[in-house]
Structure 1
Amino acid sequence: MTPPDYARLEADLREQLGPRGVSGDIRQREKASVDGARMSPIIAELLPLGVADLVAFPTTAEEIAAVVGIAAAHGVPITPRGKGTGNYGQAIPMSGGLVLDMSRARTIVEVGDGFVTADAGAVMNALEQAARATGQQLWMYPSTVHSTLGGFLSGGSGGTGTIAHGANHMGFVAALDVVTPASGGTLVHLDGEAAQAYVHNYGTAGIIARATVRLEPLQDWRGLYASFPDFAGSLSVLRTLGRLTPAPRLVSADTVHVTAQLPPDDAFPAGRSSLRMIADPAVVAEATAIIEAAGGRVEDVREGPQASPALSVLSYNHPIEWLQKSEPGVYFHVEVSGDALVDRIDEVHAVYPGSYLHIEAGHTVPIGMLAGVYESPAAVYAGIAELGELGVGVHNPHQWNVDFRLHETVDLARTTDPQGLLNPGKLNPAYDGPVKGAIR
């Protein structure tokens, strides 16, 4: 097969995007060819790394579509990219080709009653601010507040807000405008169930260029910071706090050791386990009483529009990232769920000696990230099996293959991407990892 003519492709892209809209500079190409996969020592060891041959920077959904059409006409692999905050190698161009950097396509098209429509590169925090200006808020909010809308929906994430709504993006996503090689550079509008086929699949069946997601009435959140002498104290109240009405946006807690690795804050006193809430003002007094009755104390209650994002960025996998930064090369993590995280915590920690759990109240059961000392892939997978025997649900984050509706995505991609140009290497129909499926 004749290799792609990248010089010709670059010329065609420059004609479409202008001279600043495409780059062949090696520094730009290398920067656009990595994401947060370093968080996994297994991925870091095994992932076939690639470097983009070109990087394109469209500024609108329509330009995103045009770029896909041009690259597909040249037979060039296309790897979509938002801010590169994913942790599983989704944005790494394993086959080289074109990295489609959508971070400049930031237009918020419309904020309506119960919805917001924006181009794929709009960051989630900007969407939240736009919603607040109309008396609304995002129905689901990410832990990485500067992630892009397209990246958040295309990746495997859940988000803050799952206590009330669960991790079901089907409730969050109302409509998508996607582009595929088969659509020839034209946006395809999809509503409802039809749109869900393009969520969580890393752009392997179609690239999200614009999205409409759900809003809900604004709540005046408080950031409540509490602490306990030990992790057992935090665990003792986590589920109770998560069931308060109105539901909190977040309840999360860390061990004493992990708390010590978080960014310095007077609300994280030394030698104590941190428990944090994004709480409705109506439940702050009740939450305080619950915490104090269990032997804890409230360190601070903070108001204002930054109360929610300040705690969101200390949720999901972020505390474990701080742990990894404090002791480089030591820890791996697995995503976990279930009441056993509270009821059998000593057994859970014993699965991986020297491990630490970050825990959050979930929609139905606690969820979290368990960090263990890394020895080998075999030890990680053996521990996953042990956790299952304890009643812990586990999602294996140490692989880069689509593992949500895999076979449906494979079938769809046969029609939308018959040449296999979209994010090649991420859609292996034979994937049969040790554990699959989202927990959030």
Structure 2
Amino acid sequence: METTTAVEALTDELRALLGEAGVTTDPRVRERVSVDGATMSPLILELLPLGLADVVAFPTSAEQVAACVAAAVRHRVPVTPRGKGTGNYGQAIPMPGGLVLDLTRARAVVEVGDGWVTAEAGATMVALEAAARETGQELWMYPSTAQSTVGGFLSGGSGGTGTIVHGANHQGFVVALDVVHATGDPVLVHVEGEEAQAYVHNYGTAGILARATVRLDPLRDWRGFYASFAEQHDAFRVLRELGRLDPAPRLVSADHPDVAAALPPDPAIPEGRASLRAILDPAAVDAATALVIAAGGRVEDLRDGPQASLKLSVLSYNHPIEWLQKAEPGTYVHLEVGGDALVDRLDEVQATIPGGLLHLEAGHTVPIGMLAGVYEGPERLDEVILALGRLGVGVHNPHQWNVDFEVERTLALARDTDPHGLLNPGKLNPGYAGPRKGAIR
């Protein structure tokens, strides 16, 4: 916790800047903004709580974000940026206390142009998609947690609906950013193109995103496609083929019957069968139907409209595993996995972990997914990672709050943009191997 004098002085300055409604030290609010979705990780769950905000500010514009950060720097109080708190691994937890900068009130969609939309960091991805649709366009991509903020998605997310065609969110989605450096100057630094990419997926450790311009595609009349199979293997093989269709789908997901059973009830996800769900171009529906029938599956439903697509999006990526964890609390841990071995060596992949169940997505180049299984401790999870590697499966262990993407680039950037080490401290640690019990309290 920061010194009382520094926090009190900062709090007074923030109230003068934002008004009484824009700042709080209420213990209930401080506790609420000091947690995120880290309970999804049994490794991190053992370590909670990891930190508690001393003061919370709610700027309503990008300019106010810059002013808040400058004030915190003057008082040498750490700053942890926060969107909706939908991250799952503690990246928005204020480990040293200090100021939590809640950006959800800075939510204006500033402008929609031809192929791009500009919004402040607290605007939700749903709001951006709705604004784009009014101009006959749609987002390049958006995450499975569609109500998350654009700043949160760019700072901590990676992919989602639209990834099959466009890849991850650091692969061209960002056109430009207005960022705030922790130098004490209340200014917005405008960066574009490759320069902007350095601020993506670094959890605000080298600069806080205050405004973003991201790419749009022409609007398409997507169809929500539901199918089911008696065998998981058939569903996964068809998923891979659907991901290769032309025109390409916006999303394809598939689940083991036990994972599908944990999803919200839907007649198009029948009990006891593997589920396959896709967002398809109308021109691809016949080809997709033929692939399903040829593999012994059946088409359960075809749904129109943006809400049908949104519903499928929120049943993708890590969300099915979250539903599985809710159905059997305290049981499952998961790993992010990728590669054709997820289809070709499915039984071996699932056998690497007790009770192994795979959720699969059609990825940009190869299938990607979430492998869930019974949690038996971090050492056992390390063994699972090694076994998956021997099968040719790419693995990312998400159970850490540390920046693990372009670490050297982020460190170099932070030396200039955060000279006092005040931006989201505890999240940029080279060589960090992941949380272990007792590592941080």
Fold match (TM-score > 0.5)? yes
Residue of structure 2 in register with 1:401 after alignment: 402
Residue of structure 2 in register with 1:299 after alignment: 300
Q: State the distance in 2 between where 1:38 and 1:62 align.
A: 33
Q: State the distance in 1 between where 2:148 and 2:85 align.
A: 8
Residue of structure 2 in register with 1:389 after alignment: 390
Q: State the distance in 2 between where 1:4 and 1:244 align.
A: 61
Residue of structure 1 in register with 2:104 after alignment: 103
For residues 250-288 of structure 1, the C-alpha deviation after alignment (integer angstroms, 9 at most, x for no partner) is 111000101000001111111111100000011111111
Contact 1:237-1:291 within 8 A present in 2 as well:
yes
Query: Secondary structure at the residue paired with 1:234?
Result: helix
Instruction: Please report how far the alpha carbon of residue 181 of structure 1 lies from its aligned counterpart in structure 2 after TM superposition.
Output: 1.2
Give the partner amino acid of 1:233. D
Residue of structure 1 in register with 2:76 after alignment: 75
Instruction: Please report how far the alpha carbon of residue 80 of structure 1 lies from its aligned counterpart in structure 2 after TM superposition.
Output: 0.3
Q: State the distance in 2 between where 1:32 and 1:295 align.
A: 48
Residue of structure 2 in register with 1:362 after alignment: 363
Residue of structure 1 in register with 2:24 after alignment: 23
Q: State the distance in 1 between where 2:272 and 2:49 align.
A: 42
Contact 2:238-2:292 within 8 A present in 1 as well:
yes
For residues 332-364 of structure 1, the C-alpha deviation after alignment (integer angstroms, 9 at most, x for no partner) is 100000000000000001100211000011111
Residue of structure 1 in register with 2:215 after alignment: 214
User: Is 1:85 aligned to 2:86, yes or no?
Assistant: yes
Q: 1:48 to 1:25 in 2, by over 3 A?
A: closer
Q: 1:295 to 1:13 in 2, by over 3 A?
A: same
Q: State the distance in 2 between where 1:152 and 1:389 align.
A: 32
Residue of structure 2 in register with 1:438 after alignment: none
Contact 2:224-2:302 within 8 A present in 1 as well:
yes
Q: State the distance in 2 between where 1:302 and 1:49 align.
A: 43
Give the partner amino acid of 1:59. T
Contact 1:9-1:74 within 8 A present in 2 as well:
yes
Q: State the distance in 1 between where 2:9 and 2:3 align.
A: 14
Residue of structure 2 in register with 1:331 after alignment: 332
Alignment of 1:259-338 (within 5 A): 259-338=260-339
For residues 294-326 of structure 1, the C-alpha deviation after alignment (integer angstroms, 9 at most, x for no partner) is 111111100011121110000000000000000
Instruction: Please report how far the alpha carbon of residue 137 of structure 1 lies from its aligned counterpart in structure 2 after TM superposition.
Output: 0.6
Contact 1:55-1:100 within 8 A present in 2 as well:
yes
Instruction: Please report how far the alpha carbon of residue 4 of structure 1 lies from its aligned counterpart in structure 2 after TM superposition.
Output: 4.7
Contact 1:336-1:394 within 8 A present in 2 as well:
yes
Give the partner amino acid of 1:71. A
Residue of structure 2 in register with 1:166 after alignment: 167
Contact 2:73-2:184 within 8 A present in 1 as well:
no
For residues 358-393 of structure 1, the C-alpha deviation after alignment (integer angstroms, 9 at most, x for no partner) is 001111100000001001000011100110110000
Residue of structure 2 in register with 1:226 after alignment: 227
Flag structure 2 segments of 5+ consecutive residues without an equivalent.
436-441
Residue of structure 1 in register with 2:439 after alignment: none
Instruction: Please report how far the alpha carbon of residue 2 of structure 1 lies from its aligned counterpart in structure 2 after TM superposition.
Output: 6.4
Residue of structure 1 in register with 2:9 after alignment: 8
Give the partner amino acid of 1:397. P
Q: State the distance in 2 between where 1:82 and 1:161 align.
A: 22
Instruction: Please report how far the alpha carbon of residue 239 of structure 1 lies from its aligned counterpart in structure 2 after TM superposition.
Output: 1.1
Percent of pairs identical after alignment?
70
Instruction: Please report how far the alpha carbon of residue 183 of structure 1 lies from its aligned counterpart in structure 2 after TM superposition.
Output: 5.5
Contact 1:183-1:416 within 8 A present in 2 as well:
no
Instruction: Please report how far the alpha carbon of residue 236 of structure 1 lies from its aligned counterpart in structure 2 after TM superposition.
Output: 2.2
Query: Secondary structure at the residue paired with 2:46?
Result: helix
Instruction: Please report how far the alpha carbon of residue 27 of structure 1 lies from its aligned counterpart in structure 2 after TM superposition.
Output: 0.3
Give the partner amino acid of 1:188. V
Q: State the distance in 1 between where 2:240 and 2:151 align.
A: 32
Give the partner amino acid of 1:203. G
Q: State the distance in 2 between where 1:142 and 1:428 align.
A: 26
For residues 76-134 of structure 1, the C-alpha deviation after alignment (integer angstroms, 9 at most, x for no partner) is 00000000000110100000000000011110000000000000000001100110110
Query: Secondary structure at the residue paired with 1:260?
Result: helix
* Root-mean-square deviation over aligned CA pairs: 1.3
Residue of structure 2 in register with 1:65 after alignment: 66
Q: State the distance in 1 between where 2:328 and 2:168 align.
A: 31
Query: Secondary structure at the residue paired with 1:309?
Result: helix
Q: State the distance in 2 between where 1:416 and 1:217 align.
A: 36
Residue of structure 2 in register with 1:353 after alignment: 354
Q: State the distance in 2 between where 1:337 and 1:236 align.
A: 14
Give the partner amino acid of 2:374. V
Give the partner amino acid of 2:387. E
Contact 2:399-2:434 within 8 A present in 1 as well:
no
Q: What TM-score do the two structures reach when normalised by structure 2?
A: 0.96
Instruction: Please report how far the alpha carbon of residue 170 of structure 1 lies from its aligned counterpart in structure 2 after TM superposition.
Output: 3.2
For residues 129-149 of structure 1, the C-alpha deviation after alignment (integer angstroms, 9 at most, x for no partner) is 110110111011211100000
Q: State the distance in 1 between where 2:365 and 2:324 align.
A: 27
Q: State the distance in 2 between where 1:67 and 1:339 align.
A: 47
Give the partner amino acid of 1:135. G
User: Is 1:237 aligned to 2:238, yes or no?
Assistant: yes
Segments ≥4 residues shifted beyond 6 Å = none
Alignment of 1:173-192 (within 5 A): 173-182=174-183, 184-192=185-193
Instruction: Please report how far the alpha carbon of residue 235 of structure 1 lies from its aligned counterpart in structure 2 after TM superposition.
Output: 1.3
Contact 2:402-2:434 within 8 A present in 1 as well:
no
Give the partner amino acid of 1:169. H
Q: State the distance in 2 between where 1:4 and 1:243 align.
A: 60
Give the partner amino acid of 1:140. M
Residue of structure 2 in register with 1:130 after alignment: 131
Q: State the distance in 2 between where 1:196 and 1:165 align.
A: 15
Q: State the distance in 2 between where 1:154 and 1:350 align.
A: 34
Residue of structure 1 in register with 2:258 after alignment: 257
Q: What TM-score do the two structures reach when normalised by structure 1?
A: 0.97
Bigger mean CA deviation after superposition, 95-104 or 167-176: 167-176
Instruction: Please report how far the alpha carbon of residue 8 of structure 1 lies from its aligned counterpart in structure 2 after TM superposition.
Output: 1.7
Flag structure 1 segments of 5+ consecutive residues without an equivalent.
435-440
Query: Secondary structure at the residue paired with 1:163?
Result: helix
Q: State the distance in 1 between where 2:96 and 2:166 align.
A: 38
Give the partner amino acid of 2:158. S
Residue of structure 1 in register with 2:418 after alignment: 417
Contact 2:103-2:122 within 8 A present in 1 as well:
yes
Bigger mean CA deviation after superposition, 227-236 or 375-384: 227-236
Instruction: Please report how far the alpha carbon of residue 433 of structure 1 lies from its aligned counterpart in structure 2 after TM superposition.
Output: 5.4
Q: State the distance in 1 between where 2:300 and 2:3 align.
A: 65
